[in-house]
Chains A and B, each alone.
Chain A
Amino acid sequence: MTDLLDSLLGGLALGAVYALVALGFVVIFKASGVLNFAHGSLLLFGGYLVAVLHDDLGFAGALALAVVVTAALAGALDRFLLQRGGHDAHSAHVQTIVTIGIDIVLLTELARRIGGDLLTLGDPWGDAVTELGPVTVADSRLAAIAVSAVVITGVFALFRFTSWGLSLRAAAEDMEAAALMGVRLGRVRAGAWCLAGALAALAAVFLAAFPAPGLERTTGQIALNAFPAAILGGLASPTGALAGSLVIGLTEALVVGYQSELHVLGEGFGDVAPYAVMLLVLLVRPNGLFGAKGAARV
C-alpha cells in the first residue's frame, strides 16, 4: 500500500511538471498550428539562465528573470522568424520544420556552454523531504505540484476571462474569420509563444530540482516525455494536456515502481510506457482524450 501511494504521489508530481511543458506545446499549437520542436531547448535555456544567475540574483530573482527572458526569446523567435512565413495551415507545417532548426542551433550552443557539467539551480528546497503518513515526498516535488496547480489555473483563467484568451480561442477556431473580426493574429500568436516560453523556464526548475541532481545538457530531452502527454490529451486542448500529463506521469511512475511484476514486458519498459499509452489512447480516440473532432469526410 505504501509503495502504491509512493508511486502515485511520485507520478502526480511528475505529471504536474509535464503539464507545464505539455501546456506550452498546446498553447503554441492552438495559436499558430505549429508543433514546437524547440520546446526542449527553450526549457534548457530557461534552466541554464537560472543556473548562471542564481549566485548573483538569488533564486527568486534568477527565476523571475529567466522566465521573462525565455518568454521574450520564444516570443521573438515567433514574431521575427516564424511569422514571416504567414498564418495559414500550410505554412504552419513549414514553420514546424523551422522549429527543428531552431532547436538544433539553440541546443548546440547550450550544450557547448554546459558541457559535461551538472549545474545546481540554488532552489530553496534542497534535498528536504516531508513525511506524509507512511510516504516520504521531496519538498521540491510538493512545490512542483502546488506551483503547477496555481500556474495552470492561472493559464486557464487567462484563456477564459481575458480578451487575449478570447482572441486565441477565436483564432484557433477559424483563423480567417478571427482576422476579419479584427483579431491581430500576429500579436495573439507571439503572446502564446511568450506564455509557452515562460512555462518551459518554470518547468526546467522542477525538472532539475532535487530528485534529479541538477541541470544537465540533456535536461531538455525530458520535455519529450511531455510530448505524448500533449498528443494523447488532444493537441489543441489545454484540459487534455493536463489530463494527458497526469496519465503519463502516473504511468511512468507505476510502470517503473512495479517493474518486477511487469518483467514479462522486458526491463526498461518505463521509458517506452508513455508512448505505448499514447498509442493505445489514439487507437480508441484518434483525436486524443479531449481533442476536437476532425473534419468528417462525406
Chain B
Amino acid sequence: MTTRHTRRPRVRAAGAVLAGTLALLLAATGCSSKASGDGKGDSADGVRTGPGVDDDTIRLGALTDLTGPYATLGKSIVQAQQMWADEVNSKGGICDRKVEIVVKDHGYDVQKAVTAYADIAPDVVALPQVIGSPVVAALLDDIERDKLLTFPQAWAASLLGKDAVQVLGTTYDVDMIAAVDFLTRTKGLKKGDTIGHVYFEGDYGANALEGSTWAAERAGMKVAGQKIQATDTDLSAQVSALRKQGVKAVLISAGPAQTASLVGVAASRGLKVPVVSSAPGFAPQLMETPAAPALAAMLNVVSAAPAVSSDLPGVKTMVTSYKKKYPDSPVDSGVLSGYNAAELIGEDLAKACEAGGLTREDVVKAHRSQSNADTGLGTPQNFSDVNRPASTETYVLKPDAKAVGGVVNAEDAHTAPGVEEYLSAR
C-alpha cells in the first residue's frame, strides 16, 4: 500500500520532467525557424531588400512602454506613429510598399526590452521608437551590430557617435546651456549668482548637469546641484537647501512629478525664483494638480520641439488629425516627437528607395546623407555628423492650462550663444 503511494508521484514527476523538456525543445526549435526574413536579395522591382522588407511591406519596430512609468508617453508615440503609417499607406505607401509598425511593450524593464528586441529585430528594417535611456543603453551594441537605424526617445549626449543611433533634436546638455542663456537674458541673472540644479541620477541628469555647469561657468555663475531619484516626489528638503544657498533660479532635469513638487513647494515657501525644466520634466497633467498656478507663474521648459499648441502649419495639421483619430487621448509632446520621428524615418526610407536599396545599410546611409531634414514640425535637422546633436536650436515653452498640451511657445527656436563653443570643446 505504502509503496504504491510513494511510487506513483515519482512516476508522475518523471512524466512532468519529460513533458517539460519536450516543451522546451519544441519552443527552441520554434524559435529557430523564425529568422526567415534574413535573406537578402533583389525584389521584383529591382530594389535591394533585406530583413524587414519584402515585395509589398516595409516593417518598422517600436520598443515602447505601455504598462510602465512612461505609459502615457508610450501610448502617445505609438498612436501618433500608427496615424503616420495609416496616412502614408493611404497615399500608396513608401517605395510602392505598405508600412507596418510592429509594437512591443517592455514596461520600462530592461530585461524584457532585450527579449523584445531579439524577437522583432530580425523582422524589421528600422526602429522609429525606443523608449527609456537604460533600455537604449542595454541595446546599443546590438543595434550597432545589426545596423538597425534607431530613434531613441532619450536625449543623453552619450548616445551620440553611433552610426545607427540617431538622437533627434538637441541633447540634454545643449538644452541646459539654452536654459542658462534664457535666465541671464530675460530673468536678470548675472555674474556671481548661484543657480540651483535639481537632477535625476543617471545619464539624463548627469548630461544636463554637464551643460548647466559649463554654461554657468562661462557666465561667471555657480551651480548648486541637488541629485534626486525618481521616487523622490516631495522636494521640500531640496527647496530648503536651495533657499539656504541663495539661488537666484532653479533648473530641473527630472520627471513631471518632481517639477510639480519643486515649483509648488518653492512658491509656498516664498522662494519665488524662475524655474526652467528639461523637456521630459513637464506633462500636460501637471496643469490639473494644485501646483498649476505656481507652474504657470514660475516655470519655463526648454525643448527642441515646439509646443503642440504652436502655430506651425505642420503641427496644426498633425494635431487636428490626431484629435480626430484619437478624440479621447491627450495631445502631449510625445505625439509630436513620435510623429516627427516617423516622418523622418519615412524620408530616410524614400531616399534609400531612390538610391536603389532598402537594406538596413542602405537606410542608415540614406539617413546620414540628410543634412537638412525638415518635416515642418519644428527645426530642420542635420544627421550627417554622428558626433553632433542633430540640431542645436531650442524653443522656450511656457505652461498654460488652457492650451492644447498644456504649454505655449514663449520663445521661437534659436541656437543659444555658447552652444557651438561647447560642442567644439567637447
Contact = CB atoms under 8 A, between A and B. Distances in A.
Interface of A: 3, 6-7, 10, 14, 111-112, 115-118, 120, 126-129, 136, 138, 141, 207, 210-214, 216-219, 221-222, 252-253, 256-260, 267-268, 270-271
Contacts of A138: 236, 265, 268
B288 A120 contact: yes
Contact of A258 (B227, B231, B241, B260): B241
Interface in B72-103: 72-73
B315 to A, nearest CB: 23
A127 B294 contact: yes
Contact of A210 (B224, B232, B283, B290): B290
B233 A212 contact: yes
Interface in B21-72: 67-72
Given A211-B234, A259-B241, A268 B290 contact: no
Contacts of A115: 67, 71-72
B264 interface: yes
B230 A218 contact: yes
A21 B286 CA distance: 27
Contact of B240 (A6, A112, A127, A219): A6
A267 B225 contact: yes
Contacts of A111: 67-68
A105 B234 CA distance: 27
B4 to A, nearest CB: 29
Interface residues of B, number: 46
B70 A268 contact: no
Contact of A127 (B72, B264, B283): B264
Contact of A211 (B227, B235, B244): B235
Question: What 3 A-B pairs are tightest by C-beta distance, nearest first?
Answer: A116-B72, A213-B260, A256-B237
Given A117-B285, A120-B289, A216 B257 contact: yes
B240 A10 contact: yes
A15 to B, nearest CB: 12
Given A118-B285, A118-B289, A257 B233 contact: no
27 contacts: A3-B240, A3-B243, A7-B237, A116-B69, A116-B71, A116-B72, A118-B285, A118-B289, A127-B267, A127-B294, A210-B264, A211-B234, A211-B261, A211-B264, A211-B265, A212-B257, A212-B261, A213-B256, A218-B230, A218-B231, A221-B231, A256-B226, A256-B238, A257-B240, A259-B226, A268-B227, A271-B228
B244 A3 contact: yes
Nearest to B269: A136
Contact of B233 (A10, A116, A219, A270): A219
Contacts of B283: 116, 118
Contacts, number: 122
B291 interface: yes
B268 A118 contact: no
B201 interface: yes
Contact of B229 (A126, A219, A252, A271): A271
A270 B231 CA distance: 12
B329 interface: no
B366 to A, nearest CB: 34
Given A213-B260, A260-B241, 20 more contacts: A10-B240, A111-B67, A116-B73, A116-B283, A118-B256, A118-B285, A118-B286, A136-B270, A213-B264, A213-B290, A216-B257, A218-B231, A222-B231, A253-B237, A256-B226, A259-B226, A267-B226, A268-B201, A268-B227, A270-B237
Interface in B199-244: 201, 224-238, 240-241, 243-244
B268 A136 contact: yes
Nearest to B230: A218
B245 interface: yes
B269 A129 contact: yes
Contacts of A10: 236-237, 240
Contacts of B232: 271
A214 B73 CA distance: 18
Contact of B291 (A141, A213, A217, A260): A213
Contacts of B241: 256-260
A112 B67 contact: yes
B135 to A, nearest CB: 16
A51 to B, nearest CB: 12
Given A127-B290, A213-B264, A267 B237 contact: no
Contact of A218 (B233, B240, B264, B265): B233
Interface hub of A217, A258, A268 (most chain B Cβ within 10 A): A268
Interface in B239-295: 240-241, 243-245, 256-257, 260-261, 264-265, 267-270, 283, 285-286, 288-291, 294
